[in-house]
Structure 1
Amino acid sequence: MANTKHVLLVTGLSGAGKTTVLKTLEDIGWETVDNFPIRLVEGLLNTPPSSSRDDVDPPLALGFDSRTRGFDPDKLINRVKNLQQNDNYQISTLYLDCAGDELERRYSETRRRHPLALDRPAKDGIALERSQLEPFRRWADHVLDTSGLTANDLQNQIREQFTLQDTKITTVTITSFGFSRGLPNNIDLLFDVRFLSNPFWDPELKLMTGLDKPVGDYISKDPAYAEAMEKFEDMLAFLLPKYIKAGKAYVNIGIGCTGGRHRSVHVAEALRKSLHEQGFSTTVLHRNLASRPMEALENMQNLNGNKDI
């Protein structure tokens, strides 16, 4: 049973959220296929994983609805029952239900036609599809009513129920940079550390970087350093689990100083170490570490003539 293939069949009423479910499953590590011809399912199940997945066979989610070629609930149930007798497969089913008036509202808002009512009111197609799918609804392992769920609510329910153990949902990246050279793109959280003492103005440290111990020692002696780091760490310890629960795939944290070579680099490395100790997998990028130190840049934001800025 160690090599058992996990397969989830996802079906239900058109407009009930199948596309959202499949996209969420893909985000949390499932391989997903939508509207695949039913007669070809066995061949798909026997296809080895692609090399891009490092020969790790992920669980498979297959989406079906009334638009799928050859869709017949009774025949599909019999086909799945035969597959379930094979110990190589562990097959379960998810049926997405939704109240008729809510489906009508969704079709009205999106201005889409119901696939079974191209020339009739949406409610006629909804009623016909509900009748056709009733055998599958009765047989399904999981029935999820999406009537009162937002897209985010539905995503959260799917993550809670089908997230794979050890799946890394959120990628955390810390980028150090210099404000004088512009902001990085796609930053979610930004910490400005220009309030800390600036090693640039120490002749012995000027040509060093935040990766060098003397620079780190200099910065950490700033009276505000310890308290600031504690607050940064507390904020990230609070926010990152929330982002993970919400299914945010990427969290980009920016740490900025003036030139991007000293304070931001040291703080970024310190935060990486702290997050690693808390169990987060974190990547650090130093955007301006290789940039040439320039006094003109450091002076650009030194409006008060205070060389600690």
Structure 2
Amino acid sequence: MSTVVITSYGLGHHDTPQALRPVIVNTLPLRNPPADPAVRERLTRLTGRDPAVRAYVLATPGAQQLIAQAVDRIRQRLGPGQVDVHVYCRGGRHRSVAVAEEIASRLRAQGITVDVVHRHITRPLLPPKGAQ
């Protein structure tokens, strides 16, 4: 049976992971704590591993469908060897982490072996988009 390796990362770090034919999950359309003045102060310094951030991101309209579709695509790739999954957002600390953890949780609940790597979770916050 396959091992699934999920890597979350931020496009803004210009350090995209490499893999042959990964399942790609784009979380950019989901709500991002640093971009929301209502939660920026409270959630920005946390990460997608924090329950409050995870709940915030996963409550975005369309998030559950995005995750379900990713799980389905991953399951279709299962077989001998490793299945690489790349989950990205802009900074790699909030949306991609929350979604990667949720995908991993759902796969593990189905008895699938999953490793998760958060490539940019400890990197400093990126400046707001468009700021120099």
TM-score range, shorter chain: 0.7 to 0.9
Query: Which residue of the partner structure matches residue 253 of structure 1?
Result: 85
Q: Cα–Cα, structure 1 residues 230 and 170, in superposed 2: closer, same or farther, change >3 Å? A: closer
Q: Please, which of 19, 31, 46 is the counterpart of residue 186 of structure 1?
A: 19
Q: How many residues align?
A: 125
TM-align CA RMSD: 1.7
Distance 2:126 2:91 in 1: 8
For 2:47, what is the secondary structure of its paired residue? coil
- Structure 1 unaligned blocks of 5 or more: 1-168, 303-309
TM-score normalized with structure 2 length? 0.86
TM-score normalized with structure 1 length? 0.39
Q: Which has the larger radius of gyration?
A: 1
Q: Please, which of 218, 221, 224 is the counterpart of residue 56 of structure 2?
A: 218
Within 5 Å, which residues of 2 pair with 1:1-309?
169-182=1-14, 183-186=16-19, 188-201=22-35, 202-240=40-78, 244=79, 247=80, 249-296=81-128, 299=129
Cα deviation per residue 1:27-48 (whole Å; 9 max; x = unaligned)? xxxxxxxxxxxxxxxxxxxxxx
Distance 2:76 2:19 in 1: 21
Query: Which residue of the partner structure matches residue 80 of structure 1?
Result: none
1:236 Cα deviation after fit? 1.9
Higher relative helix content: 1
| Runs of 4+, deviation exceeding 6 Å | none
1:220 Cα deviation after fit? 1.7
- Name which structure has the greater RCO, CA cutoff 8 Å, separation 6+: 2
Distance 2:119 2:88 in 1: 10
Matched residues, percent identical?
A: 30
